Amino acid sequence: MDEGFFSPRYVLPFSTGKLPHIFCDVLVLGAGAAGLRAAAAASCCGEVIVAAKDPHPESNTANAQGGVASVLDKSDSFERHVDDTMAAGAGLCHEDVVREIIKEGPAEIRLLESWGLRLDREDGRISLTREGGHSRRRVAHAGGDETGRKISETMISHVGKLKGVSLMDGWFAVDVLTDPDGGGVLGVLMLRGGDPVVIRTRSVVVASGGLGRVFRETSNPKSATGDGIAMAGRAGARLRDLEFTQFHPTSLYLPGAPRFLISEAVRGEGAVLRDASGLRFMPAFHDKAELAPRDIVSRSIVSQMKKTESTCVFLDMTGMKGLDPKRRFPMIAAELAKYNIDISRDLVPVRPAAHYLIGGIECDLDGRTAVRGLFACGEAASTGLHGANRLGSNSLLEALVTGRRAGESAGKHSASSKRKGNGVQIESDLGGRGAEDLNVEDVENSVRALMWRNVGIERTGAGLVEAVEKIAFWSGYVFPTVLRDRRALELKNMLALARLIARNALRREETRGVHFRMDFPAPDDRRWKKHNYCDPLAGS
């Protein structure tokens, strides 16, 4: 990339001088379900640090409402779950990965229950709901629609008590440090407040989540700026399929309100979508109506909004038979009540928002990347589970299984590796001008608006070319600056990843899964039934 951000020299953007060092056996970046599960798995192999840039409950895990998909009922089967996942993935799932993750799901859920998680039950059995793309009711939930938060709280409580595991808030990871002689990971350069610190380790697990904040409309928390993915790319890991961003069909759409996610489980329990005239429109787009895969529902909403010249559609929860929506979805009910919306009586204005990154850091099922000692799991990873479109509630399943596997692998790698370079002090030699004249907020808002407009649900070649060119122009004056604070460093990560997303989307001249090209509206299996790689160090 000509802006130079994906360069090994970037790892040290501070004034010359010796930096303080901390040592551990395994460093986990991210404190969502994947990171915490990795930490628990690695804890038997030595000292583990879990570093999060925000307080631990602030993650996509904590915000997850619907639940975790797994085969927990005798009427279901692994084969059905595999078939549903493969169908949603539009030809790009790795069947062996899909089968293994689905097979290991029930054991992970039983483990969480042993840690204290209380899943919702009916007559003593785990209560299950259905979401789009699923052929059976297989989504387990807790606290109605508070599944993610309950899981997060349970895992933090358990992992925080484990011997040798340290949970650290307010630590921003800047870059992975690697051995120049090809020996793999040496550690990570961190910011604690505004002070640089090196955490020295031989095993790093990237569990930092996705990059939804690259888009103006997103359900993700402010922390989802893709830092871990960008760092892995700079360290030499392979990134792939970044054009596959899943847009959740139903986020709250009110002026001035955050784009609060309204779970797909709501539609699984009988809620329907209506346009501005009150018409239920989804049956005209797909035989599964509101329970069609997410990419279809999102595009159908956009189409109906255009047809009716409206800025949103409406979610109707008033006709759920035999179900009290306020009791089943207490968190949603409480949040919408802040805006004087009664879900048992009122229609809810919604529209799609960027929600989940399908692609990410290429790794195997055990989290191993192309860089020795660097592992990935959860949303930041690309294992082959999701293909071109994620099946609803497979994300928490993925986080638990791949988190455990990556943690075990990282722990074993650390135990079998000798610490190298412990006496080497990291110093900076990066020049450049200061950032005093750079309006970080303005550039960030411009990037997010451009990505939503040109690289959102509907894409064209002309719009993607414009996005690549504008991001390159902005990068030309942002990247030479020496930026020492978290927000500015996040902006650099967002710019770098936004350009890679746009480039990948431009190169994939077809429609597949969540990637919709208006100028190439059909899939092209001959040319594009494959992964779309970008090599940051070589310029994509």
Q: How far is C-alpha 197 from the geometric centre of its chain's CA atoms?
A: 26
| CATH of region 21-244+358-416 | 3.50.50.60
CATH 3.65.10.10 fits domain 250-354: no
- How many of the other CB atoms lie within 10 Å of CB of 136? 16
Tokens encoding 442: 């303005």
Scored b (16 or more CB within 10 A) or e, 267-278 reads bbbbbbbbbbee
258-270: pLDDT as tens digits: 888 898 888 988 9
Radius of gyration of the chain (CA): 22
Q: Which amino acid is at 333?
A: A
Phi, psi (rounded to 5 degrees) for 357: -85, 120
Q: Name, in order, each residue with C-beta under 8 angstroms of 487's C-beta and a sequence gap of 6 or more.
A: 440
Alpha-carbon distance of 469 to 453, in angstroms, equals: 14
**pLDDT, tens digit, 9 for 90 and up, residues 268-316:** 889 999 999 999 999 999 999 998 888 889 999 999 999 999 999 999 9
Residues 41/160, Cβ–Cβ less than 8 Å? no
The pLDDT value given to residue 59: 59
d(CA 275, CA 158): 45
pLDDT value for 259:
83
Degrees, nearest 5: CA angle 267-273-276: 160
Give the integer Cα–Cα distance in Å for 410 and 215.
32
Q: What is the pLDDT of residue 161?
A: 95
pLDDT at residue number 265: 82
pLDDT tens for each residue of 153-201: 999 999 999 999 999 999 999 999 988 777 689 999 999 887 888 899 9
SS3 179: coil
Catalytic-labelled residue, pool 294, 328, 390, 512 = 294
Query: What per-residue confidence (pLDDT) applies to 476?
Result: 87
pLDDT in tens, 454-473: 999 999 999 999 999 999 99
Question: Which pLDDT tens digit goes with each residue over 469-492?
Answer: 999 999 988 887 666 688 888 999
303's tokens: 């189409």
Q: By CB neighbour count within 10 A (0-12 exposed, 13-18 middle, 19+ buried), where does 224 fall?
A: buried
Write the CA distances from 423 to 128, 175, 184, 404, 489, integer angstroms. Answer: 54, 19, 17, 32, 28
CATH 3.30.420.40 fits 440-538, yes or no: no
The structure's pTM equals 0.91
Catalytic residue list contains 99 = no
Position 195 scores a pLDDT of 82
Question: At how many degrees (to 10) do helices 440-454 and 461-478 cross?
Answer: 170
Residues of the chain below pLDDT 50: 1-17, 421-425, 427-433, 537-540
Q: Domain residue spans in the chain?
A: 21-244+358-416, 250-354, 440-538
Q: What angle do CA 228, 234, 237 make, to 5 degrees?
A: 80
